[in-house]
Structure 1
Amino acid sequence: MIGLAFIRTALFAETLEMSTDINAVIPMAALRSSRDGKLPVLYLLHGLGGDHTEWTRQASVERYAEDKGIALILPRADRSYYMDMKQGAAYYTYLSEELPAIAKSLFPISDRREDTFIAGLSMGGYGAFKLALRQPERFAAAASLSGSLDIVHRLSEPEVFRNREEERMFGSVVEVQGSDDDLLALAGKVAAAGNQPQLYQCCGTEDFLYEGNRNFLKHAEKVGLRVTYDEEPGGHEWSYWDRNIQKVFDWLPVDKNR
């Protein structure tokens, strides 16, 4: 019998100025055996077309979390790219400031850096790396699965701005390039500072974001940012993500003696 608490939370987010949702998965057996009544936590981010329910609907992350004794926090970020949007809500500020405070007040999760991890797929892979690289003092590890990591390259593709959605999020390519929303620029800053979180990156070789993933990896190697990288055949699809999120759970630097 799996000892899990699955908690659905609806709340008003002051930063977003609207109602939003958070799902949480709490492994109860691990909680009962925890010395301090707190669990290591993985913030798990959804993709552009998904929401806070997709990881639990499409993959077996509840079982993987139970096996590893890790709490999951699954926030809703809509179609935001985890940005403080040029025309829209301040999702980055919400995810980086308000959400952690809410999660720690509601759920039995640790606030230690060494117990705090973040991962995501596609848009969420971009969000996970951005949050971890902009706040390396908060996250011990971050993982991107098929992430949109070279966002400048992605925004430069002619078809991307066809419905102006990305323009409402990011503004222009010129505004993004070299900013803290540009992961390649962030990689150089974090590598130079010497306080990087552990990073895991994977992408399927048939994925339309594969070239951007290779661009990020090449740049990370150039600037001295350490990345554990994995690739295999696969597209932008749940069969790939469910298989590879298991590798992420195995890779996470969880303190087994906590």
Structure 2
Amino acid sequence: MALIRLNFMAQSLHRTVPLLVCLPTDKVDAQGQTPTGPFKTLYLLHGMLGSEVDWVSGTRIQRWSDERNLAVVMPAGENGFYTDHNWSTDLYSQFIGQELVAFTRRTFPLSIKREDTFIGGLSMGGYGALYNGLRFHQTFGAIIMLSAGLLVGPGMEKLPAKPAWFAETAAYQHHVFGSDLAAVSQSDLNPKVLIERLQAEHATLPAIYMAIGNDDDLKPVNDDFDQFLTQHQVEHVYETGAGNHEWDFWDRYLLRALDWLPLDSKVSGLNSGHIN
């Protein structure tokens, strides 16, 4: 598995951004063949306080994607919740759903088929994967949400009087979602509103995989969203298990999510980090 670090100029963010890509182009199978693509692709979004290296550091994604001939693209989302900040010209959603896909497809041998293109994330990135997977449903065929931060909805404007950390402050919430938090819950930034609109338009929604730990504080909002998806007959899988908001859980359930995706059968081989 080739691990590629690069920087490129993102017009939607008005700056040069880092990117980490896993690409199985250096693997040699038992017949001496090297995969050439076009590869099925998973765009993986990190959580709050994280960076583009989190998935490689915290999970075994590099090994698992190599086994499945899966390309994995890991961008830096900073703490922006992967939404468009029109008030500051940081268009994270446009970056994820359009520019990043276009750049990686013209730079690497990636499939351009919707059914071969997936998006996933954890916590803040779980919300980002859901929102952008739905918004750009013509691009992404499946969505993976691990311990998703599904915090956009009615009542989100009622912030704590004494915030425990920066993400609970009015300054951060307005920076990410805009000045009128009450209106956000009625907008497409609320995944429930977005799904209802897309269903009214008879759009084809991506399949959804959700997982969360039983001890995670975000479990109630994920339980609620599972019920919403069931009521609206949206294709999805929801799994829970032992664990909290932690890498041990995400590592285990990322593997389960990969098994859920329509990927190639495992193919072992000689590569840059593993001899089998």
TM, length-normalised to structure 1:
0.91
Would you tell me which structure has more helix in proportion to its own residues?
1
- Which piece of structure 1 moves more, 165-174 or 70-79? 165-174
Matching of residues 181-192 of structure 1 within 5 Å: 181-192=189-200
2:172 to 165, 169, 176: 165
- Matching of residues 1-258 of structure 1 within 5 Å: 4-28=1-25, 29=27, 34=35, 37-88=37-88, 89-152=90-153, 155-156=156-157, 158-159=159-160, 161-162=168-169, 164-171=171-178, 172-192=180-200, 193-254=202-263
TM superposition score normalised by structure 2: 0.85
Cα pair distance change 1:30/1:149, threshold 3 Å? farther
Contact 2:42 2:72 (8 Å CA) reproduced: yes
1:175 Cα offset (Å)? 2.4
Q: Give the drift of 1:215.
A: 1.5
Q: Name the CA distance, whole Å, in 1 between partners of 2:230 and 2:216.
A: 21
Q: Is the 1:191–1:224 contact (alpha carbons within 8 Å) kept by the matching residues of 2?
A: no
Offset from partner CA, 1:91-143 (integer Å, 9 cap, x none): 11111111111111211111111110111000110011111111221111111
CA-based RMSD: 2.1
List runs of 5+ in structure 1 lacking aligned partners: none
Q: Return the letter of the residue paired with 2:7.
A: A
Flag the structure with larger Rg.
2
Work out the CA distance in 1 between the residues paired with 2:129 and 2:155: 17
Instruction: Percent identity, please.
Output: 30
* Partner SS for 1:43: strand
Q: Structure 2: which 5+ residue stretches go unaligned?
A: 161-166, 266-276
- Indicate if the aligned counterparts of 1:152 and 1:173 stay in contact, CA closer than 8 A: no
Range 96-105 or range 160-169, more displaced: 160-169
Q: Would the aligned equivalents of 1:155 and 1:173 in 2 still touch at CA under 8 Å?
A: yes
Match of 1:109, as an amino acid? L
Which structure 1 residue ranges, 4+ long, deviate > 6 Å from structure 2? none
* Residue-pair matches, total: 253
